[in-house]
Amino acid sequence: MTADGQQPGQPVLPPAAAGTESSRTPDGEWLRVHPASPFVRGWVALAAIAFFFGRDLFERSLQGQPVFEEGFGRRAPWVLGGGAVVLAVAVLGFVLTWYFTKYQVSAGYVRVNSGLLYRQHRQARLDRVQAIDIVQPLLARIFGLAELKFEVADAGESAMRLAYLKIADARQLRATILARASGAVAGAGLRAGYIPGRPPGIDLEGPAGQQHPAQPAPEAPEFTVLAVPPSRLIGSLLLSEQSFFIVVGGAASMFLSALTDNRAFYFYLVPAALGLAASYWNFFNKGYNFTAAISPDGIRLRYGLLDTQAQTLPPGRIQAVKIAQPPLWRPFGWYRIQVNVAGYGTSGNAVEGNTRTILLPVGKFADVLAMLSLVLPDPGTDQPEAVFAAGLGGFDSDGGFVTTPRRAWLLAPLAWRRNGFAATDTALLIRSGRWWRELVVVPHQRTQSMALHQGPVARHFRVADLVLHTTAGPVAPRLTQAGLDEARQLFDEQSARARLARKRQTTEQWLRQVVPSVEPVPECTPAVKPGAAAEPRTHYQQEGQQHG
């Protein structure tokens, strides 16, 4: 055993917060992204230049006319010279943009400097990293490059991007950032700075002042949980709400056309069909080959057909979970899971935002339990399968749920027996919907604030709505039409549960958080074949039953 209490060969745990590191630690080396990055990002500009100068030649060749018209020889030097100047300016801009973009991982921070005329310097604490993605557009995949994108606060404006790095360097840098953010490894390797493709340096500020190699953190092993078959993904798209409405609209258009002998109604279907086709393609392209795995880094999601993306969601960054089942999915027992993730927010591209917040595009009840076991390792109940089954398909007091009182059935004639809540030791479950069934799960420590809403009609029936405020996202936790006394009692009890749960979380480093009854993921868990069902984690016991 060494003087600092560590076993020989055991990695030294870093301090709980980055601010405790030595101020004498020198910063790591500033690095640049791959030289081809500006050309991968700016290929559209190069294509536009080529189109502008080559459009006339292309059109003349298609029309069978001479490629070069009469008198072109006198103008050729000017045209070629102008094209060369424009191309040179574009390439120079690309090169300068690459030259002035640098990044550094050191002293508990990641820093990015960018900008030619307007300089921008951004930095983020590693223990505040909310999520980290590796994105590979099609052109970047061809060149073996990838973009590293990580969120550090709420809303899309906080996203920091490094585009582009070699795919191996991007994975290594992601592993290094996540290892430091989680508290799994010592900060020594980061204090010396991570240098892709080069041997690690020497950290002179190691424990007890001794010198040792600043090895970058290896990529953590993972355990595959599930994979979504393409056939199920296609079936879920065909049975989606969009398909239902386009079929209804098509039937109405045909009925009106036959009734009025006016075929103009058919033209109204054209933009709807085009929009539906584009929506289908976007979600199929983003959801293709969807796989989920668990590792010490967090939950790993991979998906994409042409543009691939690898997300890593650190444990504890997911603020709320929504499990939904559209009516057409019910005969097949399919469900969709969406989440609110700290840092994602609601800004940015709509399709990208929707896909990044999907934890499970379509899956069976066993898949739902498997994903919930990753988000909420301790469900806080001895019968999680029965409780979540009641939340997804139960009525009245099934699973311990408290529903809307009978006196208010007129406010929701079909859903009053479904709308309700149940509280476990670790989370609040909110159930709603008779046809479009939903179950919202909010961990107690993620409840930021609450509000009771009561309008004049609700006041007459002595019911109220309880709204839980979390980070922005697709999940809006709201308990509707609860009995007034039950809502007030839940308001007080949930406030106490949230305070107690937040006291147990003593640090932002998720591997050092104090959470009882949660067993850590083994560091060397054998992987399974994609698509194989994962063994349920602690507290989740499946009996092989399928629930519709």
User: What tokens does 164 get?
Assistant: 């582009």
Virtual torsion, Cα 41, 102, 174, 311, nearest 10 deg = -30
User: pTM value?
Assistant: 0.74
323 shares its domain with 425: yes
* pLDDT of 150: 79
Q: Give 103-114 pLDDT, tens digit per residue.
A: 888 777 888 888
The SS3 of residue 36 is coil
User: Per the domain annotation, does 529 fall within a domain?
Assistant: no
Rounded to a whole number, what is the largest CA-CA distance in the chain?
92
Q: Comparing 47-56, 133-142, 171-180, which segment has the lowest mean pLDDT?
A: 47-56
The neighbour count for residue 541, using CB atoms within 10 Å, is 11
The whole-angstrom separation of Cα 404 and Cα 419 is 6
Relative to beta strand 291-295, strand 131-136 is: unpaired
Which range, 19-33, 344-358, 417-431, is most confident?
417-431
Going by C-beta distance under 8 Å and a sequence separation of 6 or more, which residues neighbour residue 359? 292, 299, 301, 318, 321, 337, 338, 339, 371, 375
* pLDDT of 304: 92
How much of the chain, in percent, has pLDDT values that exceed 90?
34
CATH number of the domain within which 367 lies? 2.30.29.30
Residue 434 has pLDDT above 60, yes or no: yes
Residue 238 has pLDDT above 50, yes or no: yes
Q: Name the one residue in this structure whose structure tokens are 């033209």.
A: 267
* pLDDT of 242: 80
CA–CA–CA angle 34, 37, 40 (5° rounding): 145
257 shares its domain with 363: no
| pLDDT band per the 50, 70, 90 thresholds, residue 213 | very low
Relative to beta strand 420-423, strand 318-325 is: unpaired
407 shares its domain with 460: yes
Residue 236 has pLDDT above 60, yes or no: yes
* pLDDT of 89: 81
> Among residues 174, 189, 221, which one ends one of the domains?
221
Q: With helix as H, strand as E and coil as C, how does 420-435 read?
A: EEEECCCEEEEEECCC
Which range, 139-148, 161-170, 327-336, is most confident?
327-336
Residue 325 has pLDDT above 70, yes or no: yes
User: Per the domain annotation, does 142 fall within a domain?
Assistant: yes
- As a whole number, the mean pLDDT across the chain is 76
355 shares its domain with 466: yes
The whole-angstrom separation of Cα 543 and Cα 548 is 15
- Name which residue leads in pLDDT, 500 or 17: 500
b vs e for 478-494, b when ≥16 Cβ sit within 10 Å of the residue's Cβ? Answer: ebbbbbbebbeebbeeb
Beta bridge partners of 294: 223, 299
| pLDDT band per the 50, 70, 90 thresholds, residue 219 | confident
How many domains does the chain fold into? 4
Strand ranges, E, within 277-434: 291-295, 298-303, 308-313, 318-325, 335-341, 358-363, 402-403, 420-423, 427-432
- Name which residue leads in pLDDT, 276 or 401: 401
Residue 391 has pLDDT above 80, yes or no: yes
| pLDDT band per the 50, 70, 90 thresholds, residue 183 | low
Q: With helix as H, strand as E and coil as C, how does 66-135 read?
A: CCCCCCHHHHHHHHHHHHHHHHHHHHHHHHHHHHCCEEEEECCEEEEEECCCCCEEEEEEHHHCCEEEEE
How much of the chain, in percent, has pLDDT values that exceed 70?
68
- The closest of 328, 313, 338 to 440, measured between CA atoms, is 338
User: What tokens does 63 get?
Assistant: 């029309």
Say if CB 337 and CB 458 are below 8 A apart.
no
Q: Give 512-524 pLDDT, tens digit per residue.
A: 553 333 343 333 3
User: Per the domain annotation, does 83 fall within a domain?
Assistant: yes
User: Per the domain annotation, does 8 fall within a domain?
Assistant: no
* pLDDT of 227: 95
Say if CB 98 and CB 38 are below 8 A apart.
yes
* pLDDT of 507: 56
- The closest of 141, 200, 137 to 167, measured between CA atoms, is 141
Residue 67 has pLDDT above 60, yes or no: no
Beta bridge partners of 312: 132, 300
The whole-angstrom separation of Cα 303 and Cα 293 is 12
144 shares its domain with 60: no
Range of the domain at 197: 26-33+101-203+213-221
| pLDDT band per the 50, 70, 90 thresholds, residue 540 | low
| pLDDT band per the 50, 70, 90 thresholds, residue 12 | very low
Q: Comparing 5-19, 70-84, 126-140, 345-359, which segment has the lowest mean pLDDT?
A: 5-19
User: What length does the chain have?
Assistant: 548
User: Per the domain annotation, does 120 fall within a domain?
Assistant: yes
Q: What is the mean pLDDT of the segment spanning 212-234?
A: 79
Beta bridge partners of 282: none
* pLDDT of 202: 29
371 shares its domain with 277: no
121 shares its domain with 189: yes
User: Per the domain annotation, does 292 fall within a domain?
Assistant: no
Residue 335 has pLDDT above 50, yes or no: yes
CA–CA–CA angle 132, 138, 139 (5° rounding): 105
47 shares its domain with 79: yes
432 shares its domain with 448: yes
* pLDDT of 518: 37
User: Per the domain annotation, does 298 fall within a domain?
Assistant: no
Residue 191 has pLDDT above 60, yes or no: no
Virtual torsion, Cα 312, 316, 318, 321, nearest 10 deg = 120
User: Per the domain annotation, does 498 fall within a domain?
Assistant: yes
The SS3 of residue 31 is strand
- Name which residue leads in pLDDT, 192 or 164: 164
The SS3 of residue 148 is strand
473 shares its domain with 326: yes
| pLDDT band per the 50, 70, 90 thresholds, residue 121 | confident
The neighbour count for residue 19, using CB atoms within 10 Å, is 11
The whole-angstrom separation of Cα 147 and Cα 137 is 9
Axis crossing angle, helix 241-260 with helix 269-287, rounded to the nearest 10 = 160
The whole-angstrom separation of Cα 12 and Cα 507 is 17
427 shares its domain with 468: yes
DSSP-derived secondary structure letter, 349? -
User: What tokens does 402 get?
Assistant: 């408290």
| pLDDT band per the 50, 70, 90 thresholds, residue 417 | very high
Beta bridge partners of 295: 298
Residue 471 has pLDDT above 80, yes or no: yes
435 shares its domain with 421: yes
